[in-house]
Amino acid sequence: MKICVKEIMRDGLDLEEEVSSQELALDKLHDETISDIRVKAHIEKDKDVVIASCDIRANERLACSRCLEEFDLIFEKKEDFVYNLSGEHIIELNDDIKDTILLDYPIMPLCKPDCKGLCHYCGKNLNEGSCDCEKERDKACRE
């Protein structure tokens, strides 16, 4: 997302764009799927400084780190970026947008906060109910 400094008027400049995940090199992030990133930006210029107030939104398809089921996570973030002009005529927002998404990327994505995960013995998804091996394991522990 490029901004031409000359296009920023006194009352600012409003932009709305979709940036592809490939353009930001986010398409290879942990083999997960990230939709195109929607960015709404209000840009203001004050002397030698440009402030870009951005609303960033994307949909991510992730695998739960406990049960391995895929789920959708909506990424929404408001972020302000400040640029010193120092003779610059064009400002590029893509690196800052990418960094914002990467910094908020969940280390251990969960399909829901109380996900029970998989049985360590048979691999059944415990969100769908308990498994029979749990009863057998408990019985063996008591003997």
39 with 13, same domain?
yes
78 with 140, same domain?
no
Q: Nearest Cα to 68, choosing from 133, 118, 32?
A: 118
86 with 48, same domain?
yes
Tell me the residue range of the domain where 129 lies.
116-143
107 with 128, same domain?
no
- Of 3-7, 11-15, 68-72, 122-126, the range with the lowest mean pLDDT is 3-7
- Residues 1 and 17 sit within 8 Å (Cβ to Cβ): yes
10 with 65, same domain?
yes
- Residues 52 and 85 sit within 8 Å (Cβ to Cβ): no
136 with 106, same domain?
no
Write out the two tokens for 10. 């006194």
Write out the two tokens for 136. 């057998």
Round to whole Å and give the CA distance between 105 and 108: 9
- Of 21-25, 45-49, 120-124, 128-132, the range with the lowest mean pLDDT is 21-25
44 with 97, same domain?
yes
For residue 99, which phi and psi values (nearest 5 degrees)?
-60, -40
Residues 90-117: tens digit of each pLDDT: 888 888 988 888 888 888 999 999 999 9
96 with 140, same domain?
no
Residue for token pair 């210029």: 45
Q: Nearest Cα to 102, choosing from 56, 49, 44, 63?
A: 56
